[in-house]
Chains A and B, each alone.
Chain A
Amino acid sequence: MIVAGCDVGSLSTKVVIMKDGEIISHHIVETGFKPDLAAKNAMDGALSKANLSIDEVGYCVSTGDGGKNVSFAGKYVSQLPCLSKGSYFFVPSVRTVVDVGGNASRAISVGKEGRVLGYRLNDKCAAGGGRFFDTLAEALEVKLDDLGPLSQQSKSPLEIASQCTVFAESEVISLLNDGKDIVDIIAGVNQSIASRIASLAMNVGVKEDVVMTGGVAKNIGVVKSLEGWLRVGIKTVPADPQIVGAVGASLLARKELQES
């Protein structure tokens, strides 16, 4: 039984293909301004990696901000159950999922078999989501992927006083102009976002095990800083943390097929 999950996020679109309960391929593309096209491209990429054609996919569930109009999906499901099921697939002991994506961050309280018990969401303010990093990495002229490793070299992280992404951007530029060490600035940026994610997580209630998903989970600086704020160890999934929602969607696709 071949199924697929398609997660159309604000910044990136992910497709996961599963066969008999195992992931056989995944593909990630940038969403851009045409979510339906991004979904198609991500699907084509994942199909070609698995040497399959779309006709061989028994069912596809879509999710994500832009996932409502995916032509090849049989059903749309919100991100929360997808993230929760996906995390449960990788870490069955999961009780809390912290997902930090491009335009939103979520903390989900997870019950039996990956069921959603409660959640908190921030999609109103860019501070606390991946967009905060995109903006600041650009201002600092550092690659997004380097923010984590560079922050680990810092001995005395600077405090970023501004919460607003726009104001924080000016703040880091003036810190740079004042001759402050860039690794200390980056460490400060990571701590600042981690503190906002932490308050979201504490709001929903933190129970171990805590799993972090979404693109920002690739930033080791944020993960470590969040561990400090929450005083718990954070588990990451043994796969790209960006695909967890799509994995959950494909698990739900499997369930649809089994029940039909």
Chain B
Amino acid sequence: MIVAGCDVGSLTAEAVIMGDEEILSSEIIGVRPKPEQSAQDVMDKALEKAHLALENIDYCISTGYGRERIPFARDNISEISCHGKGAHWLIPSVKTVIDVGGQDCKVIRVDAAGKLQNFIMNDKCAAGTGRFLEVMAKTLEVRLDEIGPLSLLARNPVVITSVCSIYAQTEVAASIAQGADQHDLAAGITRAMAERVKSLVTRVGMEEDVVITGGVAKNTGVVKSLEGMLRVSTKRFTVDPQIVGALGAALFSKEKLLQK
């Protein structure tokens, strides 16, 4: 049995191909203008890695922002369920999944079986999502993936008082003009980001074990700040935290096949 999951998000698309019990291959790409294009490209690459063709896939489920427009997917499931499912398969003790994506942030509570219990989502305001970090990286004139490492070298993190990404950008620009240290600014940014995520976690409630999925999980600065604020150490995955949604979709594909 070979199944697949395809997660088309706002900034990246991921595909995971699974055999009976193991991940055969996974791939992450930056999105193309159209979700169907992104899905096709990322799936082609994942298939190539696994030396398979699309015909070999017995069932594929799509998820994410573009999930309803994926031609080769037989079904689609919300990314909230998929993240819960994927995280539970990787770390069975997980109860709280914090997914920080490019354009939204979700905190998902699952039960001992990995089933969705409750969730909270912010997709209205860029603060607390990957977009905040993107805007800030641009202002700091560094790459997105540099913010985390830079922040770890800070001595006196700059305090960013604005919640709004636009106002925070002005604050950071003013600090740069006043000669603030880049590391201190990066740390201020990761803290501000963690602060927003924390407020969502607090609202839905946290139970250990806690994991972080999505692209922002790779930002060590945000992860450390958030762990400090929540007084918890999050469990790390053995796979890229960005593929957890696609993995969940692949697991749902497997369930579908077994039900038949």
Q: Which residues of A contact B (CB under 8 A)?
A: 10, 33, 103, 124-126, 131-132, 135, 162-167, 177
Contacts and interface: CB of A to CB of B under 8 A. Distances in A.
5 closest Cβ pairs, A-B complex: A126-B166, A166-B126, A33-B177, A164-B125, A166-B165
Contacts, number: 44
B102 to A, nearest CB: 11
A10 B162 CA distance: 14
Contacts of A10: 170
Given A132-B166, A135-B166, A166-B165, 13 more contacts: A33-B174, A103-B167, A103-B170, A124-B167, A126-B164, A126-B166, A163-B124, A163-B125, A164-B124, A164-B125, A165-B165, A166-B166, A167-B124
B253 to A, nearest CB: 30
Nearest to B177: A33
B125 A125 contact: yes
Contacts of A167: 103, 124, 126, 131
B195 to A, nearest CB: 14
A241 to B, nearest CB: 22
Interface of B: 33, 103, 124-126, 131-132, 135, 162-167, 170, 173-174, 177-178
A220 to B, nearest CB: 24
A124 B165 contact: no
A182 B242 CA distance: 36
A166 B177 contact: no
A164 B167 contact: no
A124 B164 contact: yes
A166 B167 contact: no
Among A103, A126, A164, A177, the most chain B Cβ lie within 10 Å of the Cβ of A164
A131 B163 contact: no
A131 B162 CA distance: 14
Given A33-B174, A33-B178, A165 B166 contact: yes
Contacts of A135: 166
Contacts of A124: 162-164, 167
Contacts of A131: 166-167
A28 to B, nearest CB: 19
A162 B125 CA distance: 9
29 contacts: A33-B173, A33-B177, A33-B178, A103-B170, A124-B163, A124-B164, A124-B167, A125-B164, A126-B164, A126-B165, A126-B167, A131-B167, A132-B166, A135-B166, A162-B124, A163-B124, A164-B124, A164-B126, A164-B165, A165-B126, A165-B164, A165-B165, A166-B131, A166-B132, A166-B135, A166-B166, A167-B124, A167-B126, A177-B33
